Amino acid sequence: MMQTGIFSGYFPYELKKTAEVIRGHGFNTVQLDLHFKDLDVTDGQITPEKCKTIRETFRDHDLPVSCISGYTNIIHPDAETRKSRLARLKELIAHAQYLGSPYVISETGTFDTESDWVHHPKNKTEEGWEDCRAVIADLAQFAYDNGAVFLLETYVNNVVGSVEETLRMFAEVDHPGLGLLMDPTNYFEAHNIDDMDKILNQVFDALSDKIYIGHAKDVKRSGDDKSEKHSDIGDDSAAESHTFRGVGEIELPAPGLGELNYDLYFKRLAQKHPNIPMIIEHLDESDVPRAKAFIDGKLRAHGL
């Protein structure tokens, strides 16, 4: 059966309370965000001992860590900014073995200087591709050397933003240190969202054997609001990756609040990954019971 989990970062508390609240909602796994009010795990402050404390606290609450958030713009065009962001990501990768999961996730980034999710013309050039490919190859090797796997998450506005680009990256970086985070909502744009089932089948026909973890959010047209959309999740220190809800023509709300064909998504995912962790995202704490009931209902409907 698929395991239903959630990002720990949607619960901005002390470590133990975070685990207690998540378990209280009935989850049985987490995607780990290293943000806790009583533990300093900022840049340069992660240690194996702190990782063990985090890992064991979640284990004590029957919440094994299934994967780790490492979201950042890995190709930020400013050299010093990129250096610091990659150093943080590698710090997470190096400590993954102590946190309880080898899987560390990030999207592939954009050459935009102001946002991690806005398209930039260089993203779709060979120069931009080669730059991104070199970074991903280095991350894959670093992950492998540290007993981890770097999971690429495709997103339409980033360098790797389509099925074809995802396939090309895995062909060019054919490495055991690289895998795929599956979030089908990230493949939709205004030009293809009306071909929902066709795109979903294309995604799974091409990429099923690369998948390690699944995400559960939703997708729909954004209407009149074409701006970059963020949500107030009640934590002023929350990472932008937790508040982001879409940009331009597409909105990315919580599961069950959009148009994603979850029946087809779970059917296709279960064909090769019947026990995969399914991690809920893009919501605030007040919406957790509804979103979990929606995902659990879909899983039950398909015997998963």
Q: Is 256 left (phi over 0), alpha (psi -120 to 50) or beta?
A: left
Q: What is the pLDDT of residue 249?
A: 80
Q: What is the pLDDT of residue 229?
A: 44
Q: In order of start, what are the domains of the chain with their CATH numbers?
A: 3-301 (3.20.20.150)
Q: What is the pLDDT of residue 250?
A: 87
134 pLDDT more than 60: yes
User: Percent of the chain beyond pLDDT 90?
Assistant: 87
* CA-based max dimension of the chain: 49
* Residue 237 binned pLDDT confidence (cut-offs 50, 70, 90): low
User: Taking a C-beta distance cutoff of 8 angstroms, is the pair 214, 270 a contact?
Assistant: no
